[in-house]
Structure formats: structure tokens, C-alpha cells
Amino acid sequence: MYDHWILTALLVWPALGALVVLVAPERAAKHIALGVSLVAFALSVPMWWRFNPSGGMQFLQNVPWVPAWGIHYAVGVDGISLFLVLLTTFLVPLSVLGSYTYITKRERGFYALVLVLTSGMIGVFVALDLFLFYVMWEVMLIPMYFIIGVWGGDNRLYAAIKFFVYTMLGSLLMLVAILALYFHAGARTGVYSFDYYQILRASGDLGQAAFWCFGAFFLAFAIKVPMFPFHTWLPDAHVEAPTAGSVLLAGILLKMGTYGFLRFALPFFPSVGMHPVVQAIVITLALVGIIYGGLVAMVQPDFKKLIAYSSVAHLGFVMLGIWALTIQSVQGALLVMINHGISTGALFFLVGMLYERRHSRLIEAFGGIARVVPLLAAILTVVSLSSIGLPGTNGFVGEFLILIGAFQTHPWAAGVAAAGVIVAAAYLLPALQRVIYNPLDKKENEKLLDLTPRELAVLVPLIACIVWIGVYPKPFLDRMAPSARQFIQSVEPHLPAVSASR
Amino acid sequence: MSLDFSNYRDVLMGLLPELVLCGWALVLLLVVAWRHRSASDLRAAGWVAGVGLLSTALAVWWLWWNTARAAGLASMIAVDDFRFVADWLFLGAAGLTVLLSAAYLEREQLLAPEYYAMLLFATAGMMLMAGGEDLMVIFLGLELMSVSVYVLAGFDRRSPRSAEAALKYFLLGAFASAFLLYGIALIYGATGTTNLTLVGAQLGAGASAHGTMLALGVGLLLVGFGFKVAAVPFHTWAPDVYDGAPTPVTGFMATGVKAAAFAALFRVVGEAFGNAPAWHEIVWGLAVATMVGGNLLALAQRSVKRMLAYSSVAHAGYLLVAVVAGVPVGSAAFLFYLVAYTLMTIAAFGLLAAKGRRGESEVLIDDLAGLATSRPWHAFALAVCMLSLLGFPGTAGFIGKWYILVGAVSAGQTLLAAILVLTSVISAGYYLPVIMAMYMRPAASADAHGGVRLGRLGATAVAVAVAGLLYFGVAPNALLRLAGQSSITTQTPIGMSGAGPASR
């Protein structure tokens, strides 16, 4: 039973909760939202055990939606999306709890939007119908747009519209490509349907059109990731968004791009995606992202912007892991997607907490606060180290797997990426030092308060995950391996064929 | 029900909706001849108009329910589902306009109940246009509609801007009509008939014999229609006229008038000129120019009304894409899109009309700042309209745009589809600032939105429209089926490479 309704429940429940929050009294909104998101998390947890690692797509459900066009409400998860769904349900209650004191105006609207956003994010990860996927992909734009635009910083309007237009530009072209695939598959098989597998089966012989379709998908996902030349919306959106917005943006929304590559772009068009030229371009861009993101992060005076650029670097690792196409690198990429959600999410929470205390995000506004707020300093240190990828933390496992995997197919790329780890240390450690060590030379910092129990409740689960994945990642990797292998098998056979025929 | 147009009873039956509507319009004129002074007279006229529109819709429904079809020789009036659905659309647009006008007219002290009579006559003209199987009938309908709308545009006779709008619209509209008429004359010269079916039959048999004259005729016809639907480069009248006309009238013009011209255009190119030379390329070019031009020009506007005017130009471009996609899938997409477009545009203009104070025509986008705090439902409705105009999933505007894209891609026009979506991205640049102003900026003063009054009828109309937008955005099945079954069908589908499922 559970298997049948769980995904639908995860989609519907937060949206219903949003309605309740909208009509609730202003002061109760946050508590209701927390309750709703905790229930969603509790509902989703049994999936971890019910999931059969070797079972392919699971928790399936398929109901016709617009039969005239072959549109279905089709959902399911496999080893790739399971963790992203769980990550979503895990991060949302923390984001809500983390916003308790940060959001002070129009609380009802804020929490309702967070819950709508939850439905949209889960929808993107579970959709197995391209129409449904597209709808969810766009729908989650609106709540994020409002979250940035209404509750954001001073420059929020610019950041919000930039975020919106960038994403929309990519996704609308993807819409045309989806339609082209739909008609191609329909003409090939006689069945007009947006079903994922239907289109997957027929997408092999697209010919010239495959190039354009891949381009459209690539643009949509590369903007979302964001890959190097398309990343400019990210720092603006991250810096202006309120804490919960940044956490969900970094933790979940960015993963939609890499998820899109894994689920759609590469399995649909393996011969284009793994064409040596395309491969070289993507890997180069991934490496540029790693190094460039790190270097730019190094010179940021704003702590939040520094973390935003570090996201560009982390996601560069993910892209490298996907395109290196070995079992370790793909598993590593999947793991980094999770890790980045946890570590960077925690970093954004911490910056938000610092901001609430000091109303500044500038690194130079702090200094020596370890003596004033030891607990906060300790947690910031642990999280930073995990973001750098220190052994024993989750960051190490993921990046190490990507490096091992990439080394087998692209040794030089792995070499460059390894340098990226050093860059990560070079931007995060000095920042850490300037914030929490150094002399305590600012009067304002002498009276800072340490973490409250509520803030600890936000951070401790994240720290627990950091340590758990860092020490014992096996349960994660076991559940990912079959799906990662299947992904590689669906893409790989096209490799020799390409080099022989073209 | 089969109608034989050689006997006059069946002719009357086929024209029943138009006759009912004209009858009510005459009754209304008669009534207002005696009672045309006070606000209560205005209200009474509004009710009469509403009843007239409703009974006409019932007459259309009766014909539709009995699947009325013309039998025998080629007739001057088409009796098919395309006409019926289009009629409902015009009647719905007129009905929403009546509801939205009530509060507006009283606020602006435009106590002239003839307003409603003009509205009914204009609607009758639109119905004739959608039902014209003969170029002359289409022209007749066009003139009936246009003359009524000229009057409506200048209805605020104390306002110089309204007068300017009416005069401009009249001069350019007359110009466009002349083009259209000349085109009809040339087509008559080339084929010896003005009946669409007969023209289509002749062209099917081989049109090359009278190529140049026919091509000229078709070209002039397209110019005439281009003026009426405000396609770039024939759009220059639209912003000024839309801006100057009373706001509910602007909504009516942007939806009903445009819809009627498109309906006639679909019938003309679908039934008569499927095989004619060159129109395909011309409409293709017009579509691209209109989408690009309309969106870019809208981007530069600060007044909400002008922005909506240019945005309606852009939407004409999207509809032209449906024309290029051809019948039947294009005309089905057109019907669906028009339902969505009518709902969102009329609701948007209605909400805008409620915002302006008396005698104040200009509402800048900045004037909407902070609306969400003081008028949450008003802001929410306008936000839904903006998102739907943008074509955002979850709203009917998205399904409509999707349908047009389906049509374009299935007709092999992938490039046109790509241009459509790229220009829609531009449109985010002017729809979103409205939402931003309402939700993300503080109000200029505490009393900035004190004068916003929609009225009970207006609120009903907007609520119906917004609910429709959201409902059809999530559950479009019934409307899709209706649109699909009501598309224009011909023996010579044009530009259809692969028959998609949507064509059925």
C-alpha cells in the first residue's frame, strides 16, 4: 500500500499544508509549516527501507491526465532520485525551523510558499512524464521567485527577475525539444505519449535533430546547475535570498540541473552527449567551473557570496563525475549532490545566523568570535571542513570517488580537479580564520550570543549527516550503485558506435 | 439537424443566434430611447444586455446540441461547431465586459445606456464574421462590428484621448476595410465568386490560371486582416486606441474584436486558400514580426494599459503561429487559446479599470506598488492573469500556448515554435514587473489603493475568469475535446506533415 501512495502523498501533502498555512493565524503559520514539513519527512523516511536497490524504478504510479495528448500523471523513484527526494524532505523542516526568527513580515505567505516549493521540488524528482516534469520544473520557479523577491535583501528585485528569466529561457527551449521528441516517438511507434520510457525507447534514431534537442536540454540544465558560463544568476540569487531560500536553492534546486542530465539529457541523447567533442567541452567547462568558482570565491568579501561561488565549484565536480562515466565517478557525483545539499545548506544556515546577530555578511565584520560564540564557531569549522572535503567528512567521500572514477577515463581532468580541492581549502580556510579566529578587534562582536537550542536543532541533524556519510557511506552507495550502473549502461554502448560512424 | 438554405425557414434557423441578438439590441435601443438619464437606467440596460447575451448563447447551444449542419448547395453562412464555439466566446467576452463595465461607467459618469446596445451590435458583427462562408458576409460582419466599436472607443466623449482614439481607430479601420474590400474584389475577379467553398474548389482544380490577380487579392485580404488583428507592421494604431478607449472597451477590443478577425481569417485561409500561393510565407513572416515586435515594444512601456495593448499585439503573433500551423490542429489550438486569452485579458483590463480613479486614465506599473498588502485578492487575481499571459504552467495560458506549440511542431514548424518560446521569455520582462510591483515593493502612500473598487458584478466577472484560468490550466480535458471537435475541417489540409493526436 505504502509504495503506491507515498509519492503522491509527498506531492499533495505540502501543497495542502500551504493552503492551511494561508488561512491560519499569522503567528501560528511557522508552527503549522514546521508540522507539515515534519510529517512529510516522517512519511518519506520509510522509503529508505522499502526501496529495493536492484529494483529499478519503484513506488510507481500512473494515471492518465490529459489523454488527448498522451499526458499522464506518472511518478516513480530509482536510486538516483530517491536520495534527492529524501534530501528535500529532510532540508525543508530545517529551513522552516531556521527561518523562525529570520522571517518577520508576511509570515503566512512565506511558509506557504516554502511548502508549495516543496511540492514542486519533489515533483521534479519523481516525474516520469515529460509534461509533468516540465510543469513541475516551471511551477517551482514561482515560489522561489517570490521568496527571493519579497523576503530578500536590498537588491532582491534584480536578483529575482534574473533568476526567473534565466531559468525560463532555458526551460522554454527544452519545451520545444520535448515536443519534438514527442512527435518523433509518436511517428516512430504510433503511440503519442509523454511517458518517459516511451520517449526513451524512440529517442535512439533521431539523427540530426538529436543535436538540437540535446542542445535545448543542455541549456536548460546547464543554467540550473549552473555550469560555468551560465552561472551569473547564482551569486545574485543566493546573496539576496533569505536563509531558507538560499538553503533550498543550493540544496535542492541546483541538483535539478544535474538530475536532469542523469535522467533525461544523457539517456535520451547518449550519442550526442558522449560525442568526444561534446564530452571534451563539458569536461573543460566543469573544470573551469571548479577552478574559476574557487578562485572567485577566494576574493569575495561577502561570506554568503563566497559560499555561492563555492557551489559553482562543487557542481563542477558533479558534472565531471557524470561525464567521466565510470561507476565510481557517477556514484561520487550522486553523493556530492547529497553532500553539497547538506554542507552548503549548513553553511548558509550558519551565515544566516551570523547575519541575524550582526546584520552583516562581510567577512571583515567578524574576527575572533570563537571566544564569544564557541559553539557556533565549532560547528562552522566542522561544516567548512566538510565542504573542503576533509577525510572523515562527507565531502571527502564524494569528491574522492569522482577523482578515482575520472582518473580512469580522463586522468588529466582528474588531475586538474584535484587541484580544485586545494583551491577549496584556499578560499574557505582563510575565510574561516578571519571570521572566527584572529584577534577579537570589533566591539560589536563582543556581545554576540551563542547558538540557541532552536538553532542547534537545525544544525545538529546536518552535522550528524556529515559524519555519517563521512564515516559510513555504504548504505548510500549500495542504494545508488544499481541505478548508477544502469545509467552508465544506457549511455555507454553509444560510445564506440559514435567514434566508428562519425 | 440538417438545414436546407433554399427554403427561408431554414435560413432563419441558421441565423437564429444573430437574429436573437439583433432583436435584443433593438429592444434595448427602444428602451433607452425613453430611459437614458440616471444610473438606474444604466443598470437596467446592463441587465437587458446580459439577458440578451444569455438568450443568444442558449440559441447557439440549441443549434450546437442538435448538430445543425447546412445541406445542399454552397451557402453564405457556415453552420458548424467552429462557428458555435467562436460565438460562445464572443458572447462570453461581451458578457464579462458588461459585468465589468457596470461599476466603471458609473464611476466615470458615462450615463449613456446606448453603450450596451453598441456592445450587442458589435457582438452580432463578430458572430457574422465567424459564421461567414462568403467574403461578403464576413465583410458585412466586420463593418457592423467595427462601426459599433468605433463608437465604443470614443464613448467617453469628454475625454480628448478617447476622442483621439476613436478618430484614429475610425480612419485606420476604414483604411483597412478598404484594403479588405479591394482584396475581395480582386478575388472575385480571379475566381468569379466570393463564396469560400467555391473559391476553395476552384483553387483545388488549379489556380495557376489567374495567379497574379489572386495573389494580389489574397495579399490585400491579409493586409486588411492584419490591421484588424493588429499584426506588426499594421499595429501602430493599436496602442493609442487601446490606451484612449474606456478600459472595459479596451478589454473587449483586445479580445472580441481580435478573436473575430482571427476566426474569419482561419475560415478564409482554411477553406478557400489552402492551395493559394504565398500566403503561408506571408503569415509566417507576419507571425515572427508580430511576436518579436509586440514583445519588444511592450518591454518599453511603463503604463500598464499600454503594456497590455502591446502584449495583445504579441498574443496576436502567437495566434498567427496557429494560423501557420493550419487547419485543423491550428484552428483547434486557436479556439482553446482564445478562451484562455479572453479570460485573462478581460480580467486584467477589468482589474486595471478598477484601479484607476475617475478621469485618470494612466496607471503606471509603479502605481501598483504595494497592492498585495492592501488588496490581496485583487493582487492575486492580477498576478494569475499576468502568469497566464506569460504562459506559465498551472494556468490556462500555458495549455493554450502548449497547444499552439503542438500545432506548430506537428506541422513541421519547429523554428517558428522556437521563436515563439524565445519571445515569450521576453514577455517575462514586462509581465513580471507588475507582479513585482504588487508584491515586492511598498506602497507609495498609505492610501495609495484606497480608490480601488471593482463592484460586486465586476468582482464576479473577475472571479469567474480567474477560476476558469486555474481550472483549465489543471484540467483542460473537456475544453480540449470541445476545441478539437470544433476545428475547421477541409479536404485539403495544409502544411500538415504528420497528423498528431491532437488533430484527431
Of the partner residues A68, A173, A176, the one whose CB lies closest to the CB of residue B502: A68
**A179 in contact with B, Cβ within 8 Å:** yes
Instruction: Supply the ipTM of this predicted assembly.
Output: 0.84
Contact A172 B425 (CB under 8 A): yes
- Please identify every stretch of chain A with a pLDDT value under 70, giving residue numbers as ranges: 493-502
**A68 in contact with B, Cβ within 8 Å:** yes
pLDDT the model gives residue B493:
34
Give the model's confidence band at B325: pLDDT under 50 very low, under 70 low, under 90 confident, else very high: confident
C-alpha dihedral, A253 to A254 to A257 to A262, nearest 10° = -100
Closest-CA residue of B relative to A152 is B440
- Determine how β-strand A71-77 pairs with β-strand B2-4: unpaired
**B329 in contact with A, Cβ within 8 Å:** no
Q: What is the 3-state secondary structure (H, E, C) of A233-272?
A: HHHHHHHHCCHHHHHHHHHHHHHHHHHHHHHHHHHHCHHH
Shortest alpha-carbon distance between residue B383 and chain A (Å): 11
Identify the residue among A63, A163, A176 best suited for mutation to test binding to B, counting B beta carbons within 10 A and taking the highest.
Answer: A176
Closest-CA residue of A relative to B484 is A68
Find the angle CA(B334)-CA(B392)-CA(B101) to the nearest 5 degrees.
Answer: 65
Of the partner residues B393, B414, B425, the one whose CB lies closest to the CB of residue A138: B393
Taking contacts as CB-CB distances below 8 angstroms, the residues of chain A near B404 are none
| Beta-carbon contacts of residue A311 (< 8 Å; ≥ 6 apart) | A234, A238, A250, A254, A293, A340, A344
Taking contacts as CB-CB distances below 8 angstroms, the residues of chain A near B436 are 149, 157, 160-161
Taking contacts as CB-CB distances below 8 angstroms, the residues of chain B near A168 are 425, 428
| Average pLDDT in chain B | 85
| Beta-carbon contacts of residue B453 (< 8 Å; ≥ 6 apart) | B103, B107, B354
Return residues 455-474 of B near A (CB < 8 Å): none
Mean per-residue pLDDT, B191-219? 78
| Helix runs in A24-106, H state only | 29-44, 47-50, 81-98
Closest-CA residue of B relative to A186 is B500
Shortest alpha-carbon distance between residue A468 and chain B (Å): 39
Distance CA A200, CA A213 (A): 13
Cell of A234: 547564482
Closest-CA residue of A relative to B499 is A187
In single-letter form, the type of residue at position B246 comes to: P
The answer, yes or no, to whether residue B302 has pLDDT greater than 60, is yes
pLDDT the model gives residue B490:
54
pLDDT the model gives residue A494:
58
- Determine how β-strand A71-77 pairs with β-strand B69-71: unpaired
**Which structural domain, as residue segments, surrounds residue B310?**
289-504
Closest-CA residue of B relative to A156 is B440
**B394 in contact with A, Cβ within 8 Å:** yes
Taking contacts as CB-CB distances below 8 angstroms, the residues of chain B near A165 are 425, 428-429, 432
In single-letter form, the type of residue at position B71 comes to: A
Instruction: Please give the tally of structural domains in chain B.
Output: 1
Cell of A287: 573544470
Identify the residue among A139, A172, A173 best suited for mutation to test binding to B, counting B beta carbons within 10 A and taking the highest.
Answer: A172
**B407 in contact with A, Cβ within 8 Å:** no
- Domain assignment present for residue B469? The answer is yes
pLDDT the model gives residue B354:
83
| Beta-carbon contacts of residue A201 (< 8 Å; ≥ 6 apart) | A185, A189
- Yes or no: say if B368 and B355 are a contact pair by the CB < 8 Å rule: yes
- Domain assignment present for residue B5? The answer is no
Of the partner residues A66, A169, A176, the one whose CB lies closest to the CB of residue B409: A176
pLDDT the model gives residue B207:
52
Contact A157 B436 (CB under 8 A): yes
List the domain boundaries for chain A: 274-502
Shortest alpha-carbon distance between residue B371 and chain A (Å): 13
- Domain assignment present for residue B295? The answer is yes
Identify the residue among B366, B398, B421 best suited for mutation to test binding to A, counting A beta carbons within 10 A and taking the highest.
Answer: B421
- Yes or no: say if B244 and B153 are a contact pair by the CB < 8 Å rule: yes
Distance CA A317, CA A283 (A): 10
Residue A298: CB atoms within 10 A of its CB come to 17
Distance CA A476, CA A487 (A): 17
| Beta-carbon contacts of residue B464 (< 8 Å; ≥ 6 apart) | B96
The answer, yes or no, to whether residue B185 has pLDDT greater than 90, is yes
Helix (H, G, I), strand (E, B) or coil at A206: coil
pLDDT the model gives residue A438:
82
For residue B466, which of B16, B100, B37 has the smallest C-alpha distance? Answer: B100
Distance CA A359, CA A444 (A): 11
**A135 in contact with B, Cβ within 8 Å:** yes
Taking contacts as CB-CB distances below 8 angstroms, the residues of chain A near B299 are none
pLDDT the model gives residue A344:
92
Using a pLDDT cut of 90, give the percent of chain B over it: 33
**A66 in contact with B, Cβ within 8 Å:** yes
pLDDT the model gives residue B502:
40
- Domain assignment present for residue B346? The answer is yes
The answer, yes or no, to whether residue B396 has pLDDT greater than 60, is yes
Find the angle CA(A116)-CA(A119)-CA(A120) to the nearest 5 degrees.
Answer: 90
Angle separating helix axes B477-485 and B329-355, nearest 10 degrees? 130
pLDDT the model gives residue A94:
92
pLDDT, tens digit, 9 for 90 and up, residues B128-164: 999 888 999 999 999 999 999 999 998 888 888 888 8
Taking contacts as CB-CB distances below 8 angstroms, the residues of chain B near A138 are 392-393
